[in-house]
Structure 1
Amino acid sequence: MPKKAIIVGGGIGGLAAAVHLQASDWDVEVRERAPAPPGTGTSLGLWPGALRALDQLGVGRTAREQARPAARGNFLRADGRLIGNVDFAGLRRRTGDTVHVIARPALLTTLTAALDGGALRYGHHVTDVRALTDCCDVVIAADGLRSRARSVLFGEAYRPRYSGVTAWHGTVDLDTEAISETWGQRARFGVTPRAGGHSNWFACAPAPERIPAPGGDLAALHRHFGSWHPGVRQVLDRVAEGGGSGISRNDLYDLAGPLPSYASGRIALIGDAAHAMTPDLGRGACEALIDGVTLARELTARTRVEDALNAYDAARRRPTQRLARAARLMNRAVHTSRPLAPVRNAAMRCFLAVSRPPA
């Protein structure tokens, strides 16, 4: 009789675990609280480690076909002068791959297509993951930033914490091959390529939590970024042409403290449920993918579920918590006040010159 896994959450990490386990003859059930798959969404960067995880699932080629490789990565000042470049050529020499940018719905569709029909069930809200252990061998909690499973298992000390920064984002009809990020006074603006001759953009600035921007989001974007270099203004002009209707806004959070473990009994946490981080390093989705594949690999390689969860925790907790700390420090550094901005830029220039981006 095959072992059974119930996965709470049908996002990137949960689906990755499901695909791997099902391919290893596990009985898999994914319970997703949303009523249907998302029809829209911006893009995310897949670093080589995440692409290798997709290769292990047998969907790496499909994901690459739907993605767009980034030709360059640039950090700029608000006046357009260069801070430094990300060494994507060196990344390719070192790993055989570069960063690929893919729309989140496209990646979710790719992972879902690799599952047998009926495994993914929408409209299922789980309130207490502990109750599920009676009907399966393992429960995988992949229920995101505001994880109910995390609260049930570890308490409110590990709740989401507001970073003090909000983010606007959207898509514009503008073709680009490079990932660029512009840093100004306590704010930043980024552009990433997207398939079909489009680009995703994002903009971050300090703001009160959950408070609408005075005058609306489009006015806030022009207040913060309207005097920046032409590349930023060109994107804002395209956003304005649509009347600002394509603007989404999300406050940025991470966890109030690092979890003491990613496992409890026969329950494991992956992705944002385990290590929600601010998006400053662009690694959240990548780490969720790697979590899902690592956990599934341990479960299929070991007889005892508890041993597999301990091995997963040992493999993933320290590196992901280091990334979460680094993302938090980056968030604070980028949104520093004017007197420290030149020091911040110089430090980033040195870092890009002497270090290698994590794969």
Structure 2
Amino acid sequence: MAHAVVIGAGIGGLTAAVALERRGWTVTVVEQAPSIEPVGSGLAVAPNALKALDTLGAGDEVRTLSAVQGEAGVRRPGGRWLSRTSAEEAWARYGDPTVLLLRSALVDLLAVRLSPGALRVNTRAEVVDPDTGRVATNAGVMDADLVVAADGIRSATRKALFPGHPEPAYAGVTSWRFVVPFGRRVGAGETWGRGLVFGVMPLAGGQVYCYATAAVPAGGRAGDEGAELARLFGSWHDPIPGLLSAVRDAGPGAVLRHDLYSMDVPLPAYHRGRVALLGDAAHAMTPHLGQGACQAIEDAVVLAHHASEGTPASYTADRLERTTRIVRRSRAIGRLTRWGNPLAVSARDATMALAGRLGPNVVFRQFDDVFGWRPPA
């Protein structure tokens, strides 16, 4: 029986492990952290990723655990809508809406689908030989027919396979994320200001996931990130002030802050020998299309298909062009959010408002090639 070693127990790695097991592989997942409990944040699972999860028998459970992204769109800080779409319109066009859930809920759902003993925490991959598939870890050596490198944006495996290739570049914005309980219903959407974005995603169980970005130099930190968010966004439209008040009540540590990076120079391939890269290790992208985790999920099911039916080279052929295009589009949207010049911001907002007035078909056409993807048969 073929054996795969998966490096990294994030969403991409776990999806690959489940997909390979369903195709008859023996799988070992090595995770250097002491547990797979992810950081507290929400996740948007778009129609393309739901279709991929359906191939694992997990799509319906994700739909059950999730809140449906209802009416959504982009607003200005004063609250005026620039563009809007609805779940019904997305459902009719793509067969599914975007659904919203805790990242930890998806991780747990995938982890319980693995065979007993497949996951090994506190196990760090130290050397990977792409020619033989041998993986040396701090706990011993394993031989694999396929090594799946899902070891994240700072992937040591990527560096070893493609030495000298440019690392992901700082995208010019830092991000904040938090999840809070909120006593009233809120809608999904983003608000764009001058170099600032604030996003709201209602989750199941009365919780709300919020994220924000600001165009600032890399490496910055505030003594109180909740207070920093209040300074930047506290005067914006309802319900943003209430959500910021809720996270400050939650105390220190409730707000996560990370600089955003993008793989601006695509890799020449997503494989070498017996090793395949996926997710952030292959094509780190900014979150402006909401496709980071979704593309990792796509990678995983496509890799499992080609590992059983073809070669790692066919995996690269299937994924490199698509993911490179999505990385670039996400980066381009991120650049628009960084604009601070009042005239440029006014022109940007007027363009979005015009597209919004032309109806949802104009808005959705920009996403057809992303959301309309289908997994290999």
Q: Which range, TM-score by smaller chain?
A: over 0.9
Matched residue SS, 1:196: helix
1:305 aligned partner? none
Greater CA drift, 274-283 or 229-238? 229-238
Match of 2:333 among 330, 335, 354: 330
Matched residue SS, 1:230: coil
Deviations 1:278-333 (CA, angstroms, capped at 9, x unpaired): 1111110000001000000111223xxxxx21111111111111111011111110
Q: Which amino acid aligns with 1:332?
A: R
Query: Quick one: structure 1 residues 149 and 351, their matched pair in 2 at CA, closer, same or farther if it must change by over 3 Å?
Result: farther
Give 1 or 2: higher helix fraction.
Answer: 1
Deviations 1:16-46 (CA, angstroms, capped at 9, x unpaired): 1111111221111111111112165211111
Match of 1:255 among 254, 263, 285: 263
Q: CA deviation at 1:128?
A: 2.5
1:278 aligned partner? 286
| Structure 2 Cα separation of the partners of residues 328 and 29 of structure 1 | 34
| Structure 2 Cα separation of the partners of residues 24 and 252 of structure 1 | 35
Matched residue SS, 2:154: coil
2:374 aligned partner? none
Deviations 1:221-247 (CA, angstroms, capped at 9, x unpaired): 122112211221121122232345411
Q: Is the 8 A contact 2:45 2:294 kept in 1?
A: yes
Q: Which amino acid aligns with 2:210?
A: W
| Structure 2 Cα separation of the partners of residues 225 and 130 of structure 1 | 49
Residue 289, structure 1, aligned to residue 292, structure 2: no
Match of 1:200 among 209, 223, 241: 209
| Structure 1 Cα separation of the partners of residues 11 and 88 of structure 2 | 27
**Which runs of 5 or more residues in structure 2 are unaligned?**
135-142, 372-377
| Structure 1 Cα separation of the partners of residues 13 and 195 of structure 2 | 35
1:188 aligned partner? 197
Match of 1:236 among 229, 244, 257: 244
Q: Which amino acid aligns with 1:133?
A: G
2:350 aligned partner? 346
| Structure 1 Cα separation of the partners of residues 294 and 234 of structure 2 | 32
Q: Is the 8 A contact 1:169 1:200 kept in 2?
A: yes
| Structure 2 Cα separation of the partners of residues 157 and 301 of structure 1 | 30
Q: Which amino acid aligns with 1:58?
A: G
Q: CA deviation at 1:4?
A: 1.0
The TM-score, its normalising length taken from structure 1, stands at 0.93
Residue 210, structure 1, aligned to residue 215, structure 2: no
| Structure 1 Cα separation of the partners of residues 74 and 176 of structure 2 | 19
| Structure 1 Cα separation of the partners of residues 315 and 279 of structure 2 | 13
Residue 224, structure 1, aligned to residue 232, structure 2: yes
2:145 aligned partner? 137
| Structure 2 Cα separation of the partners of residues 240 and 154 of structure 1 | 43
1:1-359 pair list within 5 angstroms: 2-38=1-37, 40-130=39-129, 133-134=133-134, 135-174=143-182, 175-176=184-185, 178-213=187-222, 215-302=223-310, 308-337=311-340, 338-352=342-356, 353=359, 354-356=362-364, 357=367, 358-359=370-371
Q: CA deviation at 1:348?
A: 2.6
Greater CA drift, 7-16 or 268-277? 7-16
Q: Which amino acid aligns with 1:203?
A: A
Greater CA drift, 181-190 or 217-226? 217-226
Q: CA deviation at 1:208?
A: 2.5
Query: Quick one: structure 1 residues 87 and 319, their matched pair in 2 at CA, closer, same or farther if it must change by over 3 Å?
Result: farther
Q: Which amino acid aligns with 2:16?
A: A
Q: Percent identity?
A: 38
Matched residue SS, 1:320: helix
| Structure 2 Cα separation of the partners of residues 204 and 78 of structure 1 | 14
Q: Which amino acid aligns with 2:343?
A: P
| Structure 2 Cα separation of the partners of residues 176 and 185 of structure 1 | 27
- Between the two proteins, the alignment pairs up a number of residues equal to 352
Q: Is the 8 A contact 1:71 1:177 kept in 2?
A: no
Matched residue SS, 2:239: helix
Matched residue SS, 1:199: strand
Q: Is the 8 A contact 1:176 1:198 kept in 2?
A: no
Matched residue SS, 1:127: strand
Deviations 1:74-98 (CA, angstroms, capped at 9, x unpaired): 2100111111013532220122210
Q: Is the 8 A contact 2:15 2:301 kept in 1?
A: yes
**Which runs of 5 or more residues in structure 1 are unaligned?**
303-307
The TM-score, its normalising length taken from structure 2, stands at 0.89
| Structure 1 Cα separation of the partners of residues 200 and 339 of structure 2 | 21
Q: Is the 8 A contact 1:6 1:140 kept in 2?
A: yes
Query: Quick one: structure 1 residues 292 and 243, their matched pair in 2 at CA, closer, same or farther if it must change by over 3 Å?
Result: same
| Structure 1 Cα separation of the partners of residues 198 and 333 of structure 2 | 14
Query: Quick one: structure 1 residues 201 and 184, their matched pair in 2 at CA, closer, same or farther if it must change by over 3 Å?
Result: same
Matched residue SS, 1:128: strand
Greater CA drift, 102-111 or 132-141? 132-141
Q: Which amino acid aligns with 1:56?
A: T
Deviations 1:125-165 (CA, angstroms, capped at 9, x unpaired): 11222267142111111111111111111124331211121
Q: Which amino acid aligns with 1:331?
A: G
| Structure 2 Cα separation of the partners of residues 313 and 346 of structure 1 | 39
Q: Which amino acid aligns with 2:179?
A: T
